[in-house]
Amino acid sequence: MPVDAKRANLPPLSLHVPEPQFRPGDEVDFSDVAVPPAGEQPRPDTAADPGTFHELAYTLVRVLDEDGNAVGPWNPRLDADTLRTMLRNMALVRAFDERMFRAQRQGKTSFYMKCTGEEAVSVAATSALAADDMCFPSYRQQGILITRGYPLIEMMNQIYSNKGDKLQGKQLPIMYSARDHGFFSISGNLTTQFPQAVGWAMASAAKGDTRISATWCGEGSTAEGDFHSALTFATVYKAPVILNVVNNQWAISSFSGFAGAEATTFAARAIGYGIAGLRVDGNDPLAVYAATQWAAERARTNQGPTLIEHFTYRAEGHSTSDDPSAYRSAQEWSSWPLGDPIKRLKDHLIGLGEWDEDRQAAQDQELAEMVRKTQKDAEKNGILGHGMHQKFETMFEGVYEEMPWHLKEQMQQMLDEDDAAGHPGPKR
């Protein structure tokens, strides 16, 4: 590149392109990841002005200390039954993920996405919401459905696009929709759900309702314009919404630096918009619960939106189409300074004398067996790739409320084709 002669005495400009610390084969050392001691972060009053606690956007709200004790002002002081339920739901999410990942590898479906290591972000957050609060998830919050008791077989039917699939095989696996469980239809497009969640919350406020909404996106997709539109609307209308950014460090192969993490935190995005911002240890289920509870209380008392960054780690690939060993060090997960959320909650419960390793092992076995049995039942409805399970006509249903003439014509064309082909696949 030519140097401008007029400024030849200045050093040339240089372009900064972020680079992650570790690549495949590298020794991982996370000692520079700042992990403040649990219990030291102040918990503001839920009516406090967002401008008075900016520091909470740069620290990590943590409850569980190194010994598994719950400490400090954010301790939600949950009873043992609630803790055991959260532990069970997180373990169930992991067992479900294991089983469905394997089903994809066995060719039973086209696609799957695990949330290993991030179970607390969906399970603990949902546990702190009211059952009728509305969730606008991304594709990695299966813990919401499991926490709300959505039947596992419905999830599996959707994953298999089989004849039991309530979405009629129309959507990619794991792009669930469960209106009765306060779970908005998942889009594969990134962060589109953020402004939608704000809109739902604005509607609830406009109608004098008491329900709030919550939404989730990954740190990588905070780069999308929709994220910033959502924050603008949320602050302008003080929408009763919880905006969760799941910072799991990796967006497929792009580390969080490509979303701006080298310069500041994702929680700090809130500050520029005048929104309450919290940065939370996303592998600490009690911290996630407490932060969500606090944000929900703010929302429900007309204090407006809260942005919560959940600092966590994507332990597995982005999806079944991804191979993380090609771009990051395999040691990252085992070296992750915030540990495994399931183990941390388990250790806490054991420390309280409310749980033990034998019960944990028995529960793991029970959950694996339940998932296995449910999978067997789901597969009675069919698996993807063994023919098409839906009636052909369903392809044309739901494009519009009422089918226009041209779709009716195309539907007939499709049925004629099926006749001409001698019914090779699905039956009407």
Partner 1 sequence: MSDPVTDPNAASEDRIAPVPEREGDTVRMNMIQAINSAMDVMMDRDPAVVVMGEDVGYFGGVFRATAGLQEKYGKTRVFDTPITECGIIGVAIGMGAYGLRPVPEIQFADYIYPALDQLVSEAARLRYRSAGEFIAPLTVRSPFGGGIFGGQTHSQSPEGIFTHVSGLKTVIPATPYDAKGLLISCIEDNDPVIFFEPKRIYNGPFSGHYDAPARNWSNHPGGEVPTGYYRIPLGKAAVTRQGAAVTILTYGTMVHVVAQTVEETGIDAEIIDLRTLMPLDIDTILESVKKTGRCMIVHEATRTQGFGAELSAVVQERCFYHLEAPIERVTGFDTPYPHSLEWAYFPGPVRIRLALEKILKD
Helical H segments across 41-112, by residue range: 80-105
Of 205-213, 248-256, 333-341, 342-350, the segment contacting partner 1 by CB under 8 A is 248-256
Backbone angles phi, psi at 178, to 5 degrees: -150, 80
Of 40-48, 67-75, 92-100, 381-389, the segment contacting partner 1 by CB under 8 A is 381-389
Shortest reach from residue 271's CB to partner 1, in Å:
20
Shortest reach from residue 381's CB to partner 1, in Å:
12
Does the protein bind partner 1 through residue 406 (CB under 8 A)? yes
- Interface pattern 201-230 for partner 1 (x via CB under 8 A): -------------------xx-xxxx----
Does the protein bind partner 1 through residue 111 (CB under 8 A)? yes
Q: Which amino acid is at 336?
A: W
Q: Which of 101, 194, 233, 258 binds partner 1 (CB under 8 A)?
A: 258
Q: Which of 95, 100, 134, 259 binds partner 1 (CB under 8 A)?
A: 259
Q: Are strands 250-251 and 254-255 parallel, antiparallel or unpaired?
A: antiparallel
Does the protein bind partner 1 through residue 425 (CB under 8 A)? yes
Q: Are strands 306-311 and 276-281 parallel, antiparallel or unpaired?
A: parallel
Q: Which of 34, 11, 30 is nearest to 22 (CA)?
A: 30
Q: How many residues does the chain have?
A: 428
Q: Which amino acid is at 318?
A: H
Angle CA 121–125–127, to nearest 5: 130
Does the protein bind partner 1 through residue 165 (CB under 8 A)? yes
Question: Structure tokens of 62?
Answer: 């943590």
Shortest reach from residue 158's CB to partner 1, in Å:
10
Shortest reach from residue 119's CB to partner 1, in Å:
24
Strands across the sheet with 276-281, in order?
134-136, 213-218, 241-247, 306-311, 276-281
Measured CA to CA in angstroms, residue 407 lies from 391, 399, 403 at distances of 16, 9, 6
Question: Locate tokens 């209308």: which residue?
Answer: 237
Does the protein bind partner 1 through residue 327 (CB under 8 A)? yes
Shortest reach from residue 282's CB to partner 1, in Å:
19
Shortest reach from residue 240's CB to partner 1, in Å:
27
Helical H segments across 110-262, by residue range: 119-127, 142-147, 152-160, 193-206, 225-236
Nearer to partner 1, 34 or 421 (CB): 421
Nearer to partner 1, 237 or 396 (CB): 396
Q: How many CB atoms lie within 10 A of CB 101?
A: 18
Of 116-124, 194-202, 232-240, 420-428, the segment contacting partner 1 by CB under 8 A is 420-428
Shortest reach from residue 395's CB to partner 1, in Å:
5
Of 64-72, 297-305, 355-363, 404-412, the segment contacting partner 1 by CB under 8 A is 404-412
Helical H segments across 128-268, by residue range: 142-147, 152-160, 193-206, 225-236
Shortest reach from residue 179's CB to partner 1, in Å:
19
Q: Give the whole-angstrom CA distance, residue 107 versus residue 413.
A: 31
State the number of binding residues for partner 1 (CB under 8 A): 61
Nearer to partner 1, 149 or 398 (CB): 398
Angle CA 145–186–204, to nearest 5: 80
Helical H segments across 301-340, by residue range: 331-335
| Local structure of 70: helix, strand or coil | strand
Shortest reach from residue 369's CB to partner 1, in Å:
29
Does the protein bind partner 1 through residue 362 (CB under 8 A)? no
Q: Which of 161, 293, 320, 375 binds partner 1 (CB under 8 A)?
A: 161
Helix (H) or strand (E) holding 293: helix 285-300
Does the protein bind partner 1 through residue 390 (CB under 8 A)? yes
Does the protein bind partner 1 through residue 170 (CB under 8 A)? yes
Of 74-82, 115-123, 285-293, 382-390, the segment contacting partner 1 by CB under 8 A is 382-390
Of 77-85, 142-150, 250-258, 367-375, the segment contacting partner 1 by CB under 8 A is 250-258
CB 116 within 8 A of CB 94: yes
Q: Are strands 241-247 and 276-281 parallel, antiparallel or unpaired?
A: unpaired
Residue ranges binding partner 1 (CB under 8 A): 1-2, 15, 17-19, 23, 110-111, 161-162, 165, 168-173, 175, 187-190, 220-221, 223-226, 251-254, 258-260, 321-322, 326-327, 384, 388-390, 392, 394-396, 399, 406-407, 410, 413-414, 416-418, 420-421, 425-426
